[in-house]
Structure 1
Amino acid sequence: MGVYPVVLSQAKFVHRDSLKYPFEERGLQFGDGIYEVIRIYHGKYYLLMEHVERLYQSAEAIKLNLPYPKHELIELLDDLLQRNNMTENGKVYLQVTRGSAPRDHVFPQNVTANIYAYISKQERPLEQLKHGVCVITERDIRWEKCYIKSLNLLPNVLAKQTANEKGCYEAILHKDGLVTECSSSNVYLVKNGQIYTHPITENILHGCVRMAVERFSSELNIPFIEKAFTLDDIKTADEMFLTSSTSEVLPIVKVDNIQIADGKPGPISKRLQAAYEKDALIQIETVGQ
């Protein structure tokens, strides 16, 4: 996965090799910051406004003052694409921390937030989208404000690593058997033609692709029920899938040792995949006009 050379840092564009990280930085020392990962298709952002809105909501939740209004940040992100001559599939990683200051748990005064963003190549996971993936289940040991897309991701990292070590794509997280989400994606169960997923609370991330899937479901007349399901429910699921900016709408065909239905992506997952592709194409063409 190649990283493009031009990096956005403090509203300046510099070569990534010349980027200097302050020694005393709130994000490095406290995880005192937020981030977003925004999908790019053929050099155009997908669900950009949803991601920007969520970034500002996360900032408000941790009392972090962003240095730019939304429209200026969007202009900088667009400029980042242009300066890298980005025309491929990829993603932008965007991070904001409370800034650089002598280490103290109390917020520093009169300090400007640190913000940077960079582009990486990211092809679509076509094989996984076609055949589905295997996942594991892990106890959800994260904090109680997972709706904030913060830098405090160690529990997520540990769960994802465990899944990787077991040859699986993701880890479904649960609290006492009640499924919340995955380590880096939202998760859904299909039963009797209806989609079930954890309701929007502080215990899960409010996914941008999740919002799109809810919209697709409405357009396709597929019931979208915000009700948490259990580990036991998985045993009799008709379908399962997960969503994220890099995974899109990705079918789950096996959970731990449990095969989901016939072990193949189901019809509702496929319909949602088609809706996603259509929506992404429409947005890309609209932005490009």
Structure 2
Amino acid sequence: MKVLYNGDLIEKKDARVDIEDRGYQFGDGVYEVIRVYNGTLFTLKEHTERLFNSAKEIGIYLKGTVSDMEEKLKQLVAANQLTDGGVYIQVTRGVAPRKHQYNDSLIPQITAYTFQVKKPVQEQTAGAKALLSEDLRWLRCDIKSLNLLYNVMEKQKASKAGAFEAILVRDGFVTEGTSSNVYAVIDGVIRTHPANNLILNGITRRKLLEVCAEQGCSVEETRISKEELLCAQEIFISSTTAEVVPITELEGKPVGKGVPGDITKRIQEGFQQKIKHESEASISS
């Protein structure tokens, strides 16, 4: 298996991370996860641009261009003959003796590898359970940083309770899931938190908003109170690897009729069509 290591494709067994890498010691870095369908990196440009933007937001300036990075990731997928799966790419500030402050001359460390994806078909089809958790994260959730400890803790709690996701609530309002964006159908309108510093503006989220427009669905990017979520007609979540998953049980109680709703199913179908269309367009070009 090949991995991308600072611009070079090398064997996975030869890849090494320095013990003084700031990503290892401080979580000082950013990352992206990109889905691969039929050998094509789906929404590659959007993910790569966000990687560069996240890095810039924390003061990491990458050499080369977005196009250069895209080409390297395509080479990685081709080298591993990946048809269906994903790519994880990580950028850290660099290697230095452990102290909080850093030298601006540090060289960013870039690694990437491919992996298989097990699509959550059961949850996509029948729906999934979710719990509510207090959102105690920092206030720059729009940066896709490596600092995911609280997300990990709440996701683990949800998993141990038999739930697929923990939906986070800050000051009485829904923000997002531990690894997903959240949507609620209220009075026939799809509502989701505005793309500000309190959530990550997911690439799948952006595509779903396009799907909603194409499907003629009413959408409002506005806050959802905890009470409104608990009374929603439908709830669904989205992420790169999970795609679109209906939430049919929240806090032990059924959402709507306790089955995936009609609007959610329309969005799921529309998203699959978008994947198919964009993947075919990428291959033909």
1:203-255 residue CA offsets vs partner (Å, 9 max, x unmatched): 11011011011111111111110111112112321100000001111100011
Deviation of 1:67 (Å): 2.6
Opposite residue 149 of structure 1, the aligned amino acid is: K
Whether the 8 Å contact between 1:198 and 1:228 is mirrored in structure 2 is yes
Matching residue of 1:146: 141
Work out the CA distance in 2 between the residues paired with 1:146 and 1:236.
Answer: 26
**What aligned pairs does 1:222-233 form with structure 2 within 5 A after superposition?**
222-233=217-228
Relative to the length of structure 1, the TM-score reads: 0.96
Work out the CA distance in 1 between the residues paired with 2:40 and 2:267.
Answer: 21
Please point out which of 66, 70, 77 is paired with 2:73: 77
Matching residue of 2:58: 62
Residue 17, structure 1, aligned to residue 20, structure 2: no
Work out the CA distance in 1 between the residues paired with 2:196 and 2:27.
Answer: 22
Whether the 8 Å contact between 2:131 and 2:166 is mirrored in structure 1 is yes
Unaligned regions of 5+ residues in structure 2, if any?
A: none
Matching residue of 1:174: 169
Residue 186, structure 1, aligned to residue 181, structure 2: yes
**What aligned pairs does 1:63-142 form with structure 2 within 5 A after superposition?**
63-87=59-83, 89-142=84-137
Matching residue of 2:266: 271
Work out the CA distance in 1 between the residues paired with 2:205 and 2:128.
Answer: 18
Deviation of 1:12 (Å): 1.1
Secondary structure at the counterpart of residue 75 of structure 1: helix
1:31-85 residue CA offsets vs partner (Å, 9 max, x unmatched): 1100000011121111111111111111111011113211100000000011111
Opposite residue 273 of structure 2, the aligned amino acid is: K
Secondary structure at the counterpart of residue 137 of structure 2: coil
Secondary structure at the counterpart of residue 117 of structure 1: strand
Q: Is the deviation greater in 52-61 or in 160-169?
A: 52-61
Work out the CA distance in 2 between the residues paired with 1:82 and 1:220.
Answer: 34
Unaligned regions of 5+ residues in structure 1, if any?
A: none
**What aligned pairs does 1:150-169 form with structure 2 within 5 A after superposition?**
150-169=145-164
Secondary structure at the counterpart of residue 17 of structure 1: helix
Q: Is the deviation greater in 45-54 or in 153-162?
A: 45-54
Opposite residue 252 of structure 2, the aligned amino acid is: N
Work out the CA distance in 2 between the residues paired with 1:244 and 1:85.
Answer: 24
Please point out which of 211, 215, 222 is paired with 2:210: 215
Work out the CA distance in 1 between the residues paired with 2:254 and 2:248.
Answer: 6
Deviation of 1:110 (Å): 2.2
Opposite residue 95 of structure 1, the aligned amino acid is: Q
Secondary structure at the counterpart of residue 91 of structure 1: strand
Work out the CA distance in 2 between the residues paired with 1:145 and 1:109.
Answer: 22
Aligned residue pair count: 284
Deviation of 1:184 (Å): 0.4
Q: Is the deviation greater in 101-110 or in 74-83?
A: 101-110
Please point out which of 183, 200, 204 is paired with 2:199: 204
Residue 27, structure 1, aligned to residue 55, structure 2: no
Work out the CA distance in 1 between the residues paired with 2:135 and 2:212.
Answer: 27
Q: Is the deviation greater in 28-37 or in 226-235?
A: 226-235
Secondary structure at the counterpart of residue 224 of structure 2: coil
Deviation of 1:166 (Å): 0.1
Work out the CA distance in 1 between the residues paired with 2:151 and 2:260.
Answer: 25
Opposite residue 55 of structure 2, the aligned amino acid is: A
